[in-house]
Amino acid sequence: MEYQYPIDLDWTNEEMMQVVSFFNAVEAYYESSVDGKKLLEKYKQFKNIVPGKAEEKQIFKEFENSSGYSSYHAVKAVQSSTEQKYFSAKTK
């Protein structure tokens, strides 16, 4: 699948890599499976870079529009589970 990640050019290279790593975890949630704990760790790193809710929603919307994957739903599914094992949208 060809699409671009929503990246802010004001971010450092390290921040860009962390944001892409978070979106890779979201992709894994939809395409195969992801360790819930790792997804939440990557989300926490993402939130350190994008602390504002409005900006987060905008970036999530851009990613969903280009990829078809909802970052919000992936994070919520993992957060709402009592177990944080491997998660996949395919098992829902």
Give the DSSP per-residue string, 29-77.
HHHS-EEHHHHHHHHHHHHHH---HHHHHHHHHHHHHHHS--HHHHHHH
Specify the pLDDT at position 29: 93
Residue 91 in any domain: the answer is no
Residue 3 in any domain: the answer is no
Residue 91 has pLDDT above 70, yes or no: no
| Position 6 confidence tier, pLDDT thresholds 50, 70, 90 | very high
> Distance (Å, rounded) from C-alpha 71 to C-alpha 60?
6
Residue 24 in any domain: the answer is yes
Express each pLDDT in 8-57 by its tens digit: 999 999 999 999 999 999 999 999 989 999 999 999 999 999 999 999 99
| Position 89 confidence tier, pLDDT thresholds 50, 70, 90 | confident
Residue 58 in any domain: the answer is yes
pTM confidence score: 0.89
Packing angle of the helix pair 13-31, 53-67 (nearest 10 deg): 50
Residue 82 has pLDDT above 70, yes or no: no
Residue 72 in any domain: the answer is yes
Q: How many domains does the chain have?
A: 1
Residue 92 in any domain: the answer is no
What stretches of 9-67 adopt beta strand conformation (E)? 34-35
The residue count for the chain = 92
Specify the pLDDT at position 3: 83
- In which domain, by residue range, is 57 found? 13-81
Specify the pLDDT at position 21: 97
CATH code of the domain containing 54? 1.10.220.80
Residue 8 in any domain: the answer is no
